[in-house]
Chain A
Amino acid sequence: MAIITMRQAISDALWEEMERDPKVFIMGQEVGVWGGTYAVTKGFLDHFGEKRVRDTPIAESAIVGAGIGASMVGLRPVSEIMTINFAFVAMDYIVNEAPKMHTMFGGQMSVPLVIRTAGGGGRQLGATHSQTPDAIFAHFPGLKVVSPGTPADAKGLLKAAIRDNDPVLFIEHAAMYQVRGEVPEGDYTTPIGVSKVQREGDAVTIVTYCKGLQLSMAAADQLSAEGIEVEIVDLRSLRPLDMGPALESFKKTNRAVIVEEGWPSYGVGAEVATRLYEAAFDYADAPIKRVAQKEVPLPYNAALEQFALPQVEHVVAAVKEVL
């Protein structure tokens, strides 16, 4: 297995899918001449040409809306929204058009569209450019929402998303493109809607995804040095949400911490905790804890921003609290 960055894994997935299927194309701001805001599509324009690597106006409704239309008539577009903060501008398309099209016309149409975007804070971009609003999007039936935490899953999930017949919102983390990890050789997909145990342990179950996985892995190393072995379940997909591995783990450890970067109110942690309680209340030996962002619009000041974001030490402390 090769060790590559998240950026490379995502880029490889796009490249390989475009080579595989001429109906796959990408459109978005700066995907072509610029090579992608995060350099994910560098070299694509020269290789695939303007027809398949389409720079767009700064017009998110058009980027996603036209992606929906093109997908309805047989293409496999990857519409890129530069950051998830701009997805609000295209909210109608993401939550009110794409997820409704198949069901609302009695199954006649489908929307095999991938909306690629990047979220997350920690880069001093201020309150409007630093959010992790994943839970909002995961609220809507009909939309699939995935958010990988490793390069291997990023590549496999993006390939699966492109081949999927339904709209998939693919959420990357803007501060994770340099994260490295082992990626399998050759063509493979990672199934959407399947959680995965990323680290085994018996003391506490940590349920997390995306950047939370990184924090949790680092916390697990620290805790292991103290003799505490945590089990980490990576959700990978927020909708459909696969609670199987998390439930199984919780029934074993009887304690859980949920780690997410977004705000806790009405969030992923709230959903997961409720489902654990609903399905396995009798197994709980301690109240489930959530580690999440403090409930403020993120400030610009670097130290203040980091203070508001979830950190490794918060995960360590939460695990010790439930033990």
Chain B
Amino acid sequence: MALKKKDHLELYRQMVLIRRVEERSAELYQAGKIGGFLHLYIGQEAVSTGIVSVRQPQDRIITAYRDHGVALNVGISAKAVIAELLGKETGVSKGRGGSMHMADIEKNFWGGHAIVGAHLPIAAGMALGDQYEDRDGVTICMFGDGATNIGFFHEGVNLSKVWNLPVLWLCENNQYGMGTAVDRASAVEQIHMKAEGYGIPHSRLEDGMDIMKVREAVGAALDHIRSGKGPYFLEVMTYRFQGHSMGDPQRYREKDEVTKWEQSDPIGIYHRYIVGDKIATKVDLDKIEEAVETEVNEAIEFAEASPDPGFDTLYDYMYASKE
């Protein structure tokens, strides 16, 4: 599906929005306004933006704790994202979830899961739900390279093949599980090779910094699954420019390495593509950046002005059953 100018501008807008939300969140964190953990998506914007842009509405997305990118891509407002980071009642999870637990099931986004690898069997179960009800949706399950070394991963991936479930296993290989490099934690550096052991077709996208390549690879994988051929495993190479979470001194990698990757900034790549191919002008893109700047400013104002959840709501979502 060829993208029109307005589509490109929208994708560019989403990537810039993620970048600005994350940059401002880092400031809010340092100002003590965001608590807990804050895992930034800076550097990986092309991955989630590319994925969400090629999914169909019936395709579910579930991801790990580095979830702000997907949240914004699926259309959760910057207001609801930042309000959640500030723990406000107006947050997307009503201030109960925080940075790692954002979801909007109306937008077919199922979180935001913070136990490494644990959402893979859950994703398999969602895909089972669609298969059981003869729906043609695919469950897109995103996880990091670090998640592929834990037992949950293997149980979930194995089950998906045993039951031929419509699930896309999408490994975002940002090359570090917290501060431990892939080659120090995984028996194979080509993580997609792990799918070989489960008889699942697999591939690796070497350039996950280029949104056009992400779209192409994910689109092909989704077509494969939707045609009834069962699960597919796609590894996407990417890089997080920031530490694992706020307060990470990053002793595990050299500054040169970070600088090298920053030169392939996904937003810069897309900017050059759009302007170079004369899809839009630099002025068009500048306008988007200004609009995003305003949107994020307003979101922060909204979040800061929003009420905290009342103490009388503490037990509100304990059980779904009505007493």
Q: Which residues of A contact B (CB under 8 A)?
A: 25, 51, 54, 56-57, 59, 61-62, 64-75, 77, 92-93, 96-97, 102-112, 141-142, 144, 164-166
Known: A65-B156, A66-B122, A107-B94. A102 touches B320 (CB 8 A): yes
Q: Which of A62, A64, A165 contacts B320 (CB 8 A)?
A: A165
- List residues of chain B with CB within 8 A of the CB of A141: 318
Please, which residue of chain B has its CB at the minimum distance from the CB of A101?
Answer: B111
B125→A65 contact, CB < 8 A? yes
- Using a CB-CB cutoff of 8 Å, which residues 189-241 of chain B contact chain A? none
Q: Which of A57, A75, A92, A165 contacts B118 (CB 8 A)?
A: A92
- List residues of chain B with CB within 8 A of the CB of A102: 317-320
A110→B124 contact, CB < 8 A? no
A105→B97 contact, CB < 8 A? yes
Rounded to whole angstroms, the CA-CA distance of A32 and B250 in the bound complex is 51
Rounded to whole angstroms, the CA-CA distance of A73 and B127 in the bound complex is 9
Q: How many residues of B contact A (CB 8 A)?
A: 45
B121→A57 contact, CB < 8 A? no
Q: Which of B125, B132, B155 contacts A59 (CB 8 A)?
A: B155
Known: A68-B122, A69-B124. A106 touches B129 (CB 8 A): no
Q: Which of B96, B118, B123, B128 contacts A104 (CB 8 A)?
A: B96
B96→A108 contact, CB < 8 A? no
Rounded to whole angstroms, the CA-CA distance of A105 and B94 in the bound complex is 7
Q: B133 in the interface, Cβ–Cβ < 8 Å? A: yes
A145–chain B nearest beta-carbon distance, Å: 13
**29 pairs of residues in contact across A and B, judged by CB atoms under 8 Å:** A56-B159, A59-B159, A62-B121, A65-B122, A65-B124, A66-B159, A67-B125, A69-B126, A69-B127, A70-B129, A72-B129, A73-B130, A74-B129, A75-B129, A96-B115, A97-B122, A104-B97, A105-B103, A106-B92, A106-B93, A106-B94, A106-B97, A109-B105, A109-B110, A112-B320, A141-B318, A142-B318, A165-B321, A166-B320
Q: Which residues of B contact A (CB under 8 A)?
A: 60, 91-97, 101, 103-105, 110-113, 115, 118, 120-130, 132-133, 151-152, 155-156, 158-159, 162-163, 316-321
Please, which residue of chain A has its CB at the minimum distance from the CB of B153?
Answer: A61
A161–chain B nearest beta-carbon distance, Å: 11
A69→B129 contact, CB < 8 A? yes
Rounded to whole angstroms, the CA-CA distance of A103 and B126 in the bound complex is 19
- List residues of chain A with CB within 8 A of the CB of B133: 74-75
B151→A61 contact, CB < 8 A? yes
B101→A104 contact, CB < 8 A? yes
- List residues of chain A with CB within 8 A of the CB of B112: 105
In the A-B complex, the 3 residue pairs with the smallest Cβ-Cβ separation, listed nearest first, are A69-B125, A65-B121, A106-B94
- List residues of chain A with CB within 8 A of the CB of B316: 107
- List residues of chain B with CB within 8 A of the CB of A111: 320
- List residues of chain B with CB within 8 A of the CB of A104: 93, 96-97, 101
B125→A71 contact, CB < 8 A? yes
Rounded to whole angstroms, the CA-CA distance of A106 and B96 in the bound complex is 6
A78–chain B nearest beta-carbon distance, Å: 13
B159→A62 contact, CB < 8 A? yes
- List residues of chain B with CB within 8 A of the CB of A65: 118, 120-122, 124-125, 152, 155-156
